[in-house]
Copies of this chain bind each other. A is one copy, B any other.
């Protein structure tokens, strides 16, 4: 319970820790103040409102993400960045759900968009094609994280357990033959979110390759 002076940084950092531990629903100004050893209203000297706090939390998450490296080829650079985004969203599952409501991007977010766009342009994508590629890549990354956040298991062992105990009983074989087959295949093969992520990511990156206009 450290209480050596508050600051916006400390407030935001503790809010993220709290949200990681208890989910966004468990993040209240009173509870947050409690873990900081302060009164609820003290927080309002550092954030104008809870909305602003949430914005700051999101941007802090963006700040954890690696920017695409400048020296390497575009695919490696963007692949590394996408992996880094996924890891950050896996660490902070609540961040995904917040993105829908939060409309104005923070500075770290902007920095990232700029860096990714720069990478694409330098790789020879046109300005318009860079926009398309950006949408495609971000859609995949955020969508994957969103789906992964909804999964009630983290390891392959838990997957097998949950599938057998919860899912399969709800899936009569005659009504859902394919889902049953899928579930079996999935358990047999094991399932690692990080690996699953790479499958789609590499496929998308490869599909973008021919769209570069090498002339530019």
Contact = CB atoms under 8 A, between A and B. Distances in A.
A142 interface: yes
Copies of this protein in the complex = 2
B96 A100 contact: yes
A194 interface: no
A38 to B, nearest CB: 26
B146 A96 contact: yes
A25 to B, nearest CB: 8
A23 B103 CA distance: 14
A179 to B, nearest CB: 5
Contact of A110 (B94, B100, B179, B203): B179
A186 interface: yes
User: A128, A176, A182, A206 — which one has the most chain B CB atoms within 10 A of its CB?
Assistant: A182
A62 to B, nearest CB: 14
B99 A200 contact: no
Contacts of A184: 127
Interface residues of A, number: 62
Interface string A171-215: 100011111011011100100000010011001101110000000
A157 interface: no
Contacts of A135: 144, 147, 196, 199-200
A119 B149 CA distance: 26
A138 interface: yes
A93 interface: yes
A97 B101 contact: yes
B136 A200 contact: yes
User: A104, A127, A151, A175 — which one has the most chain B CB atoms within 10 A of its CB?
Assistant: A127
A171 B207 contact: no
A147 B139 contact: yes
B186 A131 contact: yes
A48 to B, nearest CB: 18
12 contacts: A23-B101, A25-B101, A99-B146, A99-B150, A100-B150, A103-B152, A110-B171, A117-B181, A127-B184, A132-B200, A142-B147, A203-B208
